[in-house]
Structure 1
Amino acid sequence: MSKAFEGKSVVITGGNSGIGLATAKRFASEGAKVFITARREDELKKAALEIGHNAIAIPADISKLSDIKRLFETVKKSTDKIDVLFANAGFMDLVKIGGITEESYDKHFDVNVKGVVFTVQEALPLLKDGSAIILTSSIVSYKGFEGSTLYSATKAAVRSLARTWTSDLKSRRIRVNVVSPGPVTTPMSVGGMTLEGLNQLGKQVPIGRVGTTDEIANVVYFLASDAASFIAGADIQADGGFTQI
């Protein structure tokens, strides 16, 4: 029995850990050739080994246009088309207004906005007509958490990009959608707060807990699949009801 993504190519930024790694495993399990990228080469190689023979690791810093161009030049050597692009890489540093530095501002917007914009733009020549683009935003674009000025602003920008790109790419039938995770245990979320703090936040979630990376990966997989063929420009808040009630 053939697998759903057999013969298809998937590119995932930030694929070395957390949601990116879980999603890469999900697609690889369904037969896809998965290209993962991240800055730290050692972690990236370990992730590729975890995923298995369907994974190709390409080190790249998506805040740098030269690295993004090199990423897709490398992808092109292995495939003539991309069926799914998951622009997932992100950066978060919690700091309150009054303590924001120019360096922090630049890093947030270079990774979370510039990186997403040019990842998608550079992928366009390889993206198959009728393919799927999924962007990672966050529920912080809806809720005002203390200290999240820069991160929240960048994630609101990502949600906006899905709307305009849905219009820009309609002639190619490329669907652009967003997944906005709620509290999820990932290396980035744990780095931004204590595990105890994350679990306390989970108690505010209607279903009573934080989410898992596999649960977010399932949403990304759905948005990329034919089952979501009539969904475009949407933002799916995978948050256990946190922003909904």
Structure 2
Amino acid sequence: MGRLTGKVAIITGGARGMGESHARKFIAEGAKVVLTDLNVEAGTALAQELGENAKFIKQDVSSEADWANVVTETENAFGPVHILVNNAGISIASSIAQMTLEQYRKIVDINQVSVFLGMKAVLPSMQKTENGSIVNISSINGLVGGAIGYTDTKFAVRGMTKAAALEFAHYGIRVNSIHPGVIETPMVTEGDAVEQIKEFAKHIPLKRMAQSEEVSNLVLFLASDESSYSTGSEFVIDGGLTAQ
């Protein structure tokens, strides 16, 4: 039997990168998965490939109306939500002096506000299951400093996780955050700073970037009943980077 058999999951930013990896892992472990993204072409193709237990929904994660629609469509297709993976996120390489207010607010909306909206939206559905798990993807930059905007919002995700964990515990809903280091995703390999990132990876204690599937294994653990006594905690997966 799969580790997520009978579970219904929503994964944001699920069309590519880590989100795609999480979706594949969840389907393999028996879950029914709704993956959301703005990339309709990639998301639709992935859901079709994954089969009848997968569904794609176009979503702007910073829209409260879109969140309500996603939860409604998920329940109509598969039933109440057991798992939410708040995976969607962006980064804009800029200094404080050069970043515009519009750029800053875009990062906040997608990386931070979306997590609040997602947890709020799934709560009534998860209450029906009395056994929910929310996994918020933060970053090592939710623990140590990094780029403006990205760091701020990833620290916020860490704090919201703890606040929600305390509030949701009496519903039987667990909330944890994952803090990845350098992961080999399209956002890294197709970005402007790919060569600098490859050079930086040489200084990671394990001497390499992580593969998306390695993060997915941790997401799977927190989504499953195997982590039934873990809530309000940070789980770091960075190859030893923050241990230095």
TM-score range, shorter chain: over 0.9
2:142–2:157 contact (8 Å) kept in structure 1: no
1:10 aligns with 2:9: yes
Distance 1:209 1:67 in 2: 37
Residue in 2 that maps onto 1:132: 133
Report deviation, 1:192. Answer: 4.4
Report deviation, 1:193. Answer: 4.1
Distance 1:84 1:225 in 2: 9
Distance 1:138 1:149 in 2: 13
Report deviation, 1:187. Answer: 1.8
Residue in 1 that maps onto 2:155: 156
Query: What is the SS of the residue equivalent to 1:149?
Result: coil
Q: Deviations over 1:36-63 (max 9, x none)?
A: 0001211111221343332100111111
> AA paired with 2:181?
G
Q: Which runs of 5+ in 2 are unaligned?
A: none
Taking structure 2 as the reference length, the TM-score comes to 0.95
Taking structure 1 as the reference length, the TM-score comes to 0.95
Q: Deviations over 1:173-212 (max 9, x none)?
A: 2110011110001122335443322211211110000001
> AA paired with 1:47?
L
Distance 2:118 2:229 in 1: 24
1:183–1:201 contact (8 Å) kept in structure 2: no
Q: Deviations over 1:89-117 (max 9, x none)?
A: 11111111100101111100111111110
Distance 1:188 1:120 in 2: 25
Query: What is the SS of the residue equivalent to 1:44?
Result: helix
Deviates more, 1:14-23 or 1:196-205: 196-205
Compared with structure 1, are the counterparts of its residues 12 and 140 closer, same or farther at alpha carbon in structure 2 (3 Å cutoff)? Answer: same
Residue in 1 that maps onto 2:67: 68
Distance 2:90 2:192 in 1: 14
Query: What is the SS of the residue equivalent to 1:112?
Result: helix
Residue in 2 that maps onto 1:185: 184
Residue in 2 that maps onto 1:210: 209
1:93–1:192 contact (8 Å) kept in structure 2: no
1:10–1:33 contact (8 Å) kept in structure 2: yes
1:142 aligns with 2:143: yes
1:36–1:58 contact (8 Å) kept in structure 2: yes
Deviates more, 1:183-192 or 1:69-78: 183-192
Distance 2:61 2:54 in 1: 19
> AA paired with 2:100?
T
Query: What is the SS of the residue equivalent to 1:5?
Result: coil
Cα RMSD (Å) of the superposition? 1.3
Compared with structure 1, are the counterparts of its residues 132 and 154 closer, same or farther at alpha carbon in structure 2 (3 Å cutoff)? Answer: same
Query: What is the SS of the residue equivalent to 1:115?
Result: helix
Report deviation, 1:24. Answer: 0.6
Deviates more, 1:67-76 or 1:193-202: 193-202
2:9–2:31 contact (8 Å) kept in structure 1: yes
Runs of 4+ deviating beyond 6 Å: none
1:201–1:210 contact (8 Å) kept in structure 2: no
1:40–1:59 contact (8 Å) kept in structure 2: yes
1:102 aligns with 2:101: yes
> AA paired with 1:227?
E
Query: Number of residues paired by the alignment?
Result: 242
Distance 2:193 2:148 in 1: 19
Residue in 2 that maps onto 1:174: 173
Residue in 1 that maps onto 2:77: 78
> AA paired with 1:228?
S
> AA paired with 1:142?
L
Q: Percent identity?
A: 32
Query: What is the SS of the residue equivalent to 1:129?
Result: coil
Residue in 2 that maps onto 1:123: 122
